[in-house]
Copies of this chain bind each other. A is one copy, B any other.
Amino acid sequence: MPVSASISPLAPKTIPQLPVVAGVRLATAKAGIRYRDRADVMLAVFDRETSVAGVFTRSKCPSAPVEWCRAQLKGHFARALVVNSGNANAFTGKSGRQACALTAKFTAAAVNCKTSEVFLASTGVIGEPLDAHAFERVMTDLAGSARPDGYSEAAKAIMTTDTFPKLATARIRLGGTDVTINGFAKGAGMIAPDMATMLAFIFTDAPISAPLLQSLLRDGVVDTFNAVTIDGDTSTSDTVLAFATGAAPTPGIRRCTDPRLGPFRKAFNAVLADLAEQVARDGEGARKLVEIIVEGAVSKISARRIALSIANSPLVKTAIAGEDANWGRVVMAVGKAGEPADRDRLSIWFGGIRVAHRGARDEAYDEAAVSAAMKRPEISLKVALGLGKGRDRVLTCDLTQEYVAINGDYRS
């Protein structure tokens, strides 16, 4: 399970330094779960009762930590988050559930909270038992060394095939006070929006109630994490958790009519979108970031389905890897989506250049200009169906030989 030697060419030029979020402290450790000589566990400690919200994979075979988190969310409050890489604790049966319970017990003892206030996520190989004692050995040190500025190290500790750590931050004025929203994520393959893709954790000092935070998160993932697909495969472990410490000195936000909610939502969604785009930029083997826009569909849902059919088509993705504006394959992918479409109204653009118009090749298009557009690292592909007002956008990447190489020997 080697971490890719080279950083994705689509990686952001700079990795942001995240500011402190009052009430959050982080630490990492080398627990030796699978990797040697790198941190593979991170602990986030919340100094006071912190509102928590979560969205998870829609897989019918979710991992043990996903089931654990779903159960603890009912309590509305978190005091600790433990995430490991190297082992997903998925499809591990009864021993997986026991590993969660034990990890929570060790953590609760170290940070002095209830086990129900401990949230867990794991990523890595599926089907291998996870030894919770690996956490026991490092937990006291983790709790003792947690510090408010530990985001970069935490984001690195949860990486698997990621080639760069994914961090984002936003700062807004809320009721006369500055509040911060930090987030980090991991994910590079087994990514499809059936809930939310990969692991992502959001931290804010804004005083948002847990039910309101849940509603923000549920809405926020729709056009961010759920609009990214790398390979159409959906992990058993996808988890996005949001934590609001409430440490900012402003009265609590508990009602959806609170006027402070609008600007908060905007900044919160921007952090989600930033992280989701970074996941697409780190698609396994990716050399192209591809934005797919579908408009003129009968509804937004229909546009989403068509966009995903295009984004997940191996033939479209390999054509883009080959820098080939093969709009015939786009037609194929529209056709197989099963959504209303009329071949003779269909128009297609690559890189802003219309290559097909109303069901046939656009005779006016300049092949050289399209070829130049296809050579860029970021490619926009637009389809207009001419049926209605439904519009949607998803992000994906190309399918390269390196994707196959990475995934052909991941486990062995």
Contact = CB atoms under 8 A, between A and B. Distances in A.
A361 B130 CA distance: 12
Interface string A333-368: 111111111111010000000001011110000000
A374 B95 CA distance: 28
A359 B91 contact: yes
Given A313-B233, A314-B233, A399 B410 contact: no
A230 to B, nearest CB: 9
Contacts of A336: 58-60, 192, 194, 233-234
Contact of A328 (B125, B321, B340): B125
Contacts of A332: 59, 61, 126, 190, 233-236
A82 to B, nearest CB: 21
A334 B189 CA distance: 17
Nearest to A401: B401
Contact of A329 (B126, B192, B344, B404): B126
Contact of A331 (B58, B127, B405): B127
Contacts of A234: 332, 335-336
A403 B319 CA distance: 11
Chain A's interface: helix, strand, loop or mixed, by majority? loop
A412 interface: yes
B315 A93 contact: no
Interface size, A (range) = 35 or more
Contact of A60 (B192, B315, B321, B339): B339
Given A127-B356, A344-B93, A315 B404 contact: no
Interface in A69-102: 88, 90-96
A378 interface: no
Given A236-B335, A332-B126, A358 B61 contact: no
A128 interface: yes
A312 B319 CA distance: 18
A246 interface: no
A130 B327 CA distance: 16
Contacts of A148: none
B361 A324 contact: no
Contacts of A192: 336
A322 interface: yes
Nearest to A64: B343
A58 B335 CA distance: 8
A250 interface: no
A396 to B, nearest CB: 12
Contacts of A319: 407-408, 410-411
A137 to B, nearest CB: 24
A411 B61 contact: no
Contacts of A32: none
Contacts of A403: 314, 318, 404
A61 B341 contact: yes
A60 B327 CA distance: 16
Contact of A404 (B88, B343, B399): B399
Contact of A129 (B358, B361, B411): B361
A308 to B, nearest CB: 12
A187 to B, nearest CB: 13
30 contacts: A58-B336, A58-B338, A59-B332, A59-B335, A59-B336, A60-B336, A60-B337, A61-B343, A91-B331, A93-B360, A125-B328, A126-B328, A126-B329, A127-B360, A127-B361, A129-B361, A190-B315, A194-B336, A233-B315, A236-B335, A319-B407, A321-B404, A322-B408, A322-B409, A322-B410, A324-B409, A324-B410, A326-B411, A401-B401, A401-B405
Which 4 A-B residue pairs are closest in the complex by CB-CB distance?
A126-B328, A322-B408, A59-B335, A93-B360
